[in-house]
Amino acid sequence: MSKRFHIANMGCRANLYDGHVLHQDLTQEGWTPAASGESADLVVINSCTVTSQADRDSRKLAGRLRRRFPGSTVVMTGCGAEISPDQMAEVPAVDHVIGNQDKHRLLELALGASPSAPGVLGGATTLDATKARHSADRRWPEPAQAFSPPVDRTVRTRTFLKVQEGCDAFCTFCIIPFARGPGRSLRPSEVIQHVRSVQESGAREVVLTGTAVDTYGADLSDELAFDQLIEMVLEKTTIERVRLPSLDPLALSPKLCSLMVADARLSPHAHVALQSPHSGILKRMKRRYTAEDVAESLRGLAAAGETIEKTRPLPGGLFVGMDVITGFPGETDAIFEWTVERLRALPWHRLHVFPYSERLETAATRLDGVVEMAERKRRVRVLMDLSLERLTGHYKTLVDSGSALDVLIEGEPRDGSVRGRTSNFYRVRLAAGDSPPERNTWVRVRPTGVSPDPQLSEATLEATRIS
Q: What is 157-181 written as a DSSP string?
A: SEEEEEEEE------TT--HHHHH-
Give the span between the Cα atoms of 54 and 411, in whole angstroms: 28
What pLDDT score does 123 carry? 76
Pick the CATH number of 140-243 from 1.10.1530.10, 3.20.140.10, 3.30.750.210, 3.30.420.240: 3.30.750.210
Is residue 104 within 8 Å of residue 145, measured between CB atoms? yes
Per-residue confidence (pLDDT) for residue 16, from 0 to 100: 85
Sequence ranges of the chain with CATH classification 3.40.50.12160 = 4-121
Q: Which position has the higher pLDDT, 215 or 129?
A: 215
Tell me: the pLDDT tens digits for 350-367? 999 999 999 988 999 999
pTM: 0.89
Locate CATH 2.40.50.140 in the chain: 403-465
pLDDT confidence bin for 131, thresholds 50/70/90: low
Contacts of 18 (CB under 8 A, 6+ apart): 9, 46, 78, 103, 162
Name the percent of the chain lying above pLDDT 70: 95
Looking at the DSSP assignment, which residues form a beta bridge with residue 321?
271, 350
Neighbouring residues of 463: CB distance < 8 A, sequence distance ≥ 6: 405, 407, 428, 429, 430, 445, 446, 447, 448
**So what's the pLDDT on residue 273?**
95
**For strand 405-409 and strand 442-453, is the pairing parallel, antiparallel, or unpaired?**
antiparallel
Helix axes 254-262, 291-311, angle to 10 degrees: 10
The secondary structure of the chain in percent helix, strand, coil, rounded to multiples of 5, reads 40, 20, 40
Residues of the chain with CATH 3.30.750.210: 140-243
pLDDT tens digits for 69-128?
A: 998 999 999 999 999 999 999 999 999 999 998 888 888 888 777 665 668 888 778 777
165 has which bridge partners? 184
Q: CB of 196 within 8 A of CB of 225?
A: no
Element of type H or E holding 385: helix 373-401
Q: Which residues pair with 319 in a beta bridge?
A: 269
Share of the chain above pLDDT 90, in %: 66
Class of domain 403-465: mainly beta
Report whether 76 contacts 119 (CB < 8 A): no
Q: If pLDDT is split at 50, 70 and 90, which confidence band does 232 have?
A: very high
Tell me the three state secondary structure of residue 91. coil
Look at residue 130 in the predicted model and tell me its pLDDT.
60
pLDDT of 343 > 90? The answer is: yes
The pLDDT of residue 150 is 60
- Contact between 334 and 151 under an 8 Å Cβ cutoff? The reply is no
CA distance 68 to 263: 49
Average pLDDT of the chain to the nearest whole number: 90
* The pLDDT of residue 129: 60
* pLDDT for 144: 76
Report the pLDDT value the prediction gives residue 152, as an integer from 0 to 100. 53
CATH 3.40.50.12160, domain 4-121, yes or no: yes
Q: How far apart are CA 301 and CA 310, in angstroms?
A: 14
